Copies of this chain bind each other. A is one copy, B any other.
Amino acid sequence: MSLLVVGSVAFDAVETPFGKREKMLGGSATHFSLSAGFFSDVRVVGVVGGDFGAEEYSVFERHGIDTTDLEQIEDGRTFFWQGRYDFDLNTAHTLDTQLNVFADFQPKLSDAAQQSRLVFLGNIQPDLQLEVRARVRGAELVALDTMNYWISTVPDAVWNVVRAVDVVIINDAEARQLAGEPNLIKAARKILAAGPRALVIKRGEYGAALFTSNSYFAIPAYPLESVFDPTGAGDTFAGGLMGYLASQDSLDEATMRRAMIFGSVMASFNVEEFGTERVQRLTHDEINERFSTFKRMTHFEEIPFERAIRATP
């Protein structure tokens, strides 16, 4: 298989100013794989409970996602998260978290999973991320996500896994916190010095940036008149990015840049409706159309200023 994701598969209850859902498919590995599945074959490593039924599995199957490594604990319940967004849709207020079977999650990788070419370590305990990383030694590219909770509580463990991966995909506040450095450019330099060859910064409505040791690439977000539910936007972004990479032979800078755009495109669709609803019925034409829009909205001609054409008084 070309792309492996390890992360949470969950049920979410979400309330926004625009409506609510009592129980819908969620979790980092879910959002990631549904997004990545548009570009590449994907295999999910995670754990679900007995309440995870045929309907949920069918969503993964319809998108060609391999759930062979999705462990099911029949007498347990699936991870449940309940949250609310107020008019500031940038901030999620957690109302309830029931880890359930996810509390004792120990990622199990089949032989096929261990042969993955690309691997995404979703936001789970960093020591577990490091264990998985050690079991995919042959991978061409391993990326990770993490969050403020792990950076605050087990920073050394986060740094250990940051050192062991090729790409770090986090938001700007997390990058600043991890590096202990308010300036993002300096923070990026510090993180890259630890080992990763690329750092991807997610900035929500302000877009995303890609740092490598010798280059910088930044893009705006797709302009949305209404953000409906931001849950899973970051994982959907990572899914588009990694899925696109997995579809390409070369993982060079130009490919990474296009992957950033496809990630942004997927995230922009994700937030237009609840949970995975919009992404589930996306088409490749819609994806490519929005990719083209990104080109139109960032293009300018490189014509230096010539004093010769300075206007006369």
Q: Which residues of A contact B (CB under 8 A)?
A: 1-2, 38-41, 87-88, 117, 182-186, 189, 203, 205-207, 209, 215-220, 223-227, 244, 246-248, 254, 257-258, 260-262, 284, 287-288, 291-292, 295-305, 307, 309-313
Contact = CB atoms under 8 A, between A and B. Distances in A.
Nearest to A288: B304
A138 to B, nearest CB: 15
A246 B87 CA distance: 41
Nearest to A218: B220
Contacts of A206: 203, 206-207
B183 A207 contact: no
Given A287-B305, A305-B244, A182 B39 contact: no
A33 to B, nearest CB: 15
A244 B310 CA distance: 9
16 contacts: A41-B310, A206-B206, A215-B297, A216-B297, A217-B300, A218-B220, A219-B220, A219-B300, A247-B305, A247-B311, A248-B309, A257-B301, A284-B307, A287-B305, A288-B305, A295-B302
Nearest to A259: B300
Contacts of A182: 87-88
Contact of A247 (B88, B209, B261, B309): B309
A239 to B, nearest CB: 13
Sort A-B residue pairs by CB-CB distance and give the 7 closest, nearest first. Answer: A218-B220, A288-B304, A257-B300, A206-B206, A295-B302, A2-B311, A185-B225
A304 B38 CA distance: 13
A110 to B, nearest CB: 13
Nearest to A224: B185
Contacts of A218: 207, 220, 223, 297-298
A258 B300 contact: yes
A225 to B, nearest CB: 5
